[in-house]
């Protein structure tokens, strides 16, 4: 079996843009006409350029190769251009290609990928969602604790047992920082009102995006502790795991992090420093499925759990499901609400979500197929990136 062809898709995600402005998908095909899907997460360049980077990497390192040879392919791409370092751009590209190879491997074997990563551990996967804005909102749900509490109760009524929110203000290119007293007050009020709204029916997941210094994060954590959040997410920027470890040692709230990290090497530093109790690798950035499985196994040794991150399209979501199903230390999976709307429409068969849980597929490979005719109607024609940080200090 040899890889012979590649197609890339840059798909615009229509309003309300849950999961980002666009998705970058890849489809690899073998000489036996077996195809596999992958997706790159949040590569910080024009997505059409990202598609070209994926195509260039395929031509250099994968064309004519056997997709089963994951380790050889991984080492060659990781070392491209004399790098051998967790470069987030290259790792996003590699993740998409590696994911597509696993989809092909599963289809050739007639098995879901999780059967090839150690087998099924979990019959269903607990999931959570962010509190999302909705068309017609007259106030900002991300800054209004009354509306957020109301929406959290609605999510719990749908079956969710964990809700994530981030009221800590903008995240900027100049973080970390100390939050202002009004910002600290608002964060505390969010936790108090959401806890009152959901009681013990749901965990609270306090999201941040590296806004704070370690000292600032510790100040906030002490205010949040009475409401018993399940986690405190990425309290400081991801480039200093030793600083994050200071937060972890100073609070009873478990620290979660990892969406902006890549490869076993980044995560080994986290684990060595004792920076986090929960790892949030994104399968479209971390280096692919096998790399994520290695990280999950490293975490298992430290009694650290995994909660795969998702703020992109459903192909990464499908890969997350495969990893989570085969990982003994899986805690919870991020969903974008109930995988409905555009995230369902672009697939031939949507990811199955029932009463707060994802049901792993039994189809071979990743278990999803793109509706190529449908996505052709949604080309991304903008210039904005998938996500942006504020360009001025808060």
| DSSP class per residue in 56-82 | HHIIIIITTS-TT-HHHHHHHHHTTTT
pLDDT bin (cut points 50, 70, 90) of residue 282 is very high
Give the per-residue pLDDT at 263: 98
Does the pLDDT at position 98 exceed 90?
Answer: yes
288 in helix, strand or coil? coil
The radius of gyration of the chain's CA atoms, rounded to the nearest angstrom, is 20
Tokens of 80: 């491209």
Give the per-residue pLDDT at 31: 98
User: Residue range 30-38: average pLDDT?
Assistant: 98
- pTM over cut 0.85: yes
- Beta strands 162-165; 203-207: pairing state: parallel
Please check whether residue 325 is in contact with residue 121, taking contact to mean a CB–CB distance below 8 angstroms: yes
pLDDT bin (cut points 50, 70, 90) of residue 381 is very high
Tokens of 53: 């980077």
Tokens of 262: 């890549």
- Domain extent listing, the chain: 3-110, 115-365
- Beta strands 35-40; 353-354: pairing state: unpaired
Per-residue pLDDT of 124-146, as tens digits, reads 999 999 999 998 999 999 999 99
SS3 assignment for 117-173: CCCCCCCCEEEEEECCCCCCCCCCCCCCHHHHHHHHHHHHHHCCCEEEECCCCCCEC
CATH number of 115-365: 3.20.20.120
Give the per-residue pLDDT at 383: 87
Residue 227 DSSP label: G
CATH number of 3-110: 3.30.390.10
Per-residue pLDDT of 197-227, as tens digits, reads 999 999 999 999 999 999 999 999 999 999 9
Q: Is the peptide bond before 176 cis (omega within 30 degrees of 0)?
A: yes
Burial class (CB in 10 A: 0-12, 13-18, 19+), 222: middle
Please check whether residue 226 is in contact with residue 233, taking contact to mean a CB–CB distance below 8 angstroms: no
Looking at every residue in the chain, the average pLDDT score rounds to 97
């Amino acid at each position: 079996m040899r890889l012979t062809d590649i197609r890339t898709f840059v798909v615009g995600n229509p309003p309300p843009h849950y999961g980002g402005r666009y998705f970058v998908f890849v489809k690899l095909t073998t000489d036996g006409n077996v195809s596999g899907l992958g997706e790159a997460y949040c590569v910080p360049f024009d997505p059409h350029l990202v598609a070209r980077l994926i195509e260039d990497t395929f031509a250099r390192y994968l064309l004519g190769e056997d997709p089963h040879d994951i380790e050889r392919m991984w080492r060659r791409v990781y070392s491209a251009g004399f790098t051998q370092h967790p470069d987030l751009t290259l790792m996003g590209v590699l993740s998409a290609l590696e994911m597509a190879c696993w989809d092909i491997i599963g289809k050739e074997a007639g098995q879901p990928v999780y059967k090839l990563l150690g087998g099924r551990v979990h019959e269903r996967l607990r999931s959570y969602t962010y509190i999302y804005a909705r068309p017609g909102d007259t106030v900002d749900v991300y800054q209004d604790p009354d509306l957020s509490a109301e929406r959290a109760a609605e999510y719990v009524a749908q079956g969710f047992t964990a809700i994530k929110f981030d009221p800590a203000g903008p995240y900027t290119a100049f973080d970390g920082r100390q939050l202002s007293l009004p910002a600290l007050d608002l964060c505390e009020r969010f936790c108090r009102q959401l806890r009152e709204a959901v009681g013990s029916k749901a965990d609270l997941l306090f999201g941040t995006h590296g806004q704070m210094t370690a000292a600032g994060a510790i100040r906030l954590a002490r205010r949040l502790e009475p409401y018993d959040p399940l986690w405190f997410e990425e309290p400081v920027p991801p480039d200093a795991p030793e600083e994050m470890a200071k937060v972890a040692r100073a609070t009873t709230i478990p620290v979660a992090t990892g969406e902006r990290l890549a490869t076993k090497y980044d995560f080994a530093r986290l684990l060595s420093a004792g920076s986090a109790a929960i790892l949030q690798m994104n399968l479209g950035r971390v280096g692919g499925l096998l790399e994520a499985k290695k990280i999950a196994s490293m975490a298992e040794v430290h009694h650290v759990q995994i909660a795969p991150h998702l703020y992109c399209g459903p192909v990464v979501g499908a890969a997350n499901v495969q990893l989570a199903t085969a990982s003994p230390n899986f805690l919870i999976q991020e969903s974008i609400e109930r995988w409905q709307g555009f995230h369902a429409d672009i697939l031939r068969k949507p990811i199955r979500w029932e009463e707060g849980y994802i049901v792993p597929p039994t189809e071979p490979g990743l278990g999803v197929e793109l509706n190529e005719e449908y996505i052709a109607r949604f080309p991304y024609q903008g210039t904005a990136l998938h996500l942006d940080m504020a360009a001025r200090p808060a």
